[in-house]
Amino acid sequence: MGDRFGLYQLLLTLVIFVPFERLFAARPQKIFRRGLLTDLAFLFLNGWLVVAGQIVIVTVAILVNQSILPSAVKQAIDDLPYWVQVPLVIVIGDLGIYWAHRILHVVPTMWHIHAVHHAVEELDWLAAVHAHPLDTMFLKAGSLFPLFALGFSTEAIGTYFLVYYWQSYLVHANVRLNYGPLRYVLVSPEFHHWHHSSETEARDKNFAAIFSFYDLLFGSLHLSKGRKPKTFGVDNPMPTSYLALLAYPFVIWASKHKRDDPSAPVVLSEVTANVRESAKGLQ
């Protein structure tokens, strides 16, 4: 039943976003763009890895809730009606996403995981799934752990999941939407497209997933009035196949370890060569 529901959800997403991008395209772009097959691999193959990580995250969070959280706090949250819990869950969840996302950018070791997501050079709705499983798990930990640890209801958290699901596809979609004055409150496609831009001025900006005011509050907001981002991606060469992208952070980490070892120095060109060789072998 769950697999069937997931398939129906995917088909509905496809039916909505493909014509949406045709009607309101931000940039000329083909439906069968470069990297489409790799994104489909991420879509269909990442799921079980992420679910396994999610089970661990939720289990630990529930243990924290049961063994550490004061009973008065648990009772206060449990007494909140659904319609109060939902906005609280979305606000708290997105704050967790903001900081987890920012860590993925500013901590070099974590960036090698997140770079897989930023490797997309032709942005559309399906780019939302182009992410390393470790990346997705870390972001889920940022949002899910505090929500389950605090003891919010599964119904409220499930509603947040649904909002986040559609929001992820929308903000990556190749559509020209900026929300006007509300762009400083809510994350729009324009807002997130700047996050993916390879232009220097936009780097390490716009981390929030739903509420852009978090970036305004923490000094990481970038919205260039009257301009749209023109190029996407990262500076260094990236693999293009699914398996090679899964291996990418591990290849980089291994190469850096060898480079830091005086008995086995490795220069930057060798790191790039290792990544390319790994990509060839896994394609």
Residues 138 and 270 in one domain: no
Per-residue pLDDT of the chain (283 residues; tens, 9 = 90+): 445 555 667 788 889 999 999 999 999 988 888 889 999 999 889 988 899 999 999 999 999 999 999 999 999 999 999 999 999 999 999 999 999 999 999 999 999 999 999 999 999 999 999 999 999 999 999 999 999 999 999 999 999 999 999 999 999 999 999 999 999 999 999 999 999 999 988 999 999 999 999 999 999 999 987 788 989 999 888 999 999 999 999 999 998 877 776 554 443 344 444 444 444 433 4
At residue 256, the pLDDT reads 83
Residues 170 and 253 in one domain: no
At residue 2, the pLDDT reads 42
Domain-embedded: residue 153: yes
- Domain around 256: 242-282
Residues 12 and 118 in one domain: yes
Domain-embedded: residue 222: no
How many other C-beta atoms can be found within 10 angstroms of the C-beta atom of residue 281?
11
At residue 6, the pLDDT reads 55
At residue 180, the pLDDT reads 92
At residue 164, the pLDDT reads 96
pTM of this structure: 0.88
C-beta separation of 142 from 96 below 8 A: yes
Residues 129 and 256 in one domain: no
At residue 195, the pLDDT reads 97
Residues 42 and 173 in one domain: yes
Distance of CA 171 to the CA centre of its chain: 11
Closest CA to 131 of 50, 234, 31: 50
Residues 210 and 258 in one domain: no
At residue 264, the pLDDT reads 45
Structural domains in the chain (count): 2
At residue 84, the pLDDT reads 98
- Report the alpha-carbon distance of residue 19 to residue 21 in Å, rounded: 5
Residues 95 and 198 in one domain: yes
At residue 4, the pLDDT reads 56
Domain-embedded: residue 210: yes
Residues 143 and 16 in one domain: yes
Residues 166 and 265 in one domain: no
Domain-embedded: residue 226: no
Residue 197 makes CB contacts below 8 A (sequence gap 6+) with 203, 229, 230, 231, 232
Domain-embedded: residue 224: no
Residues 187 and 268 in one domain: no
At residue 75, the pLDDT reads 95
Q: Is 154 left (phi over 0), alpha (psi -120 to 50) or beta?
A: alpha
At residue 230, the pLDDT reads 85
Residues 188 and 252 in one domain: no
C-beta separation of 74 from 151 below 8 A: yes
What are the beta bridge partners of residue 175?
A: 25
Domain-embedded: residue 193: yes
Domain-embedded: residue 276: yes
Domain-embedded: residue 234: no
Residues 63 and 105 in one domain: yes
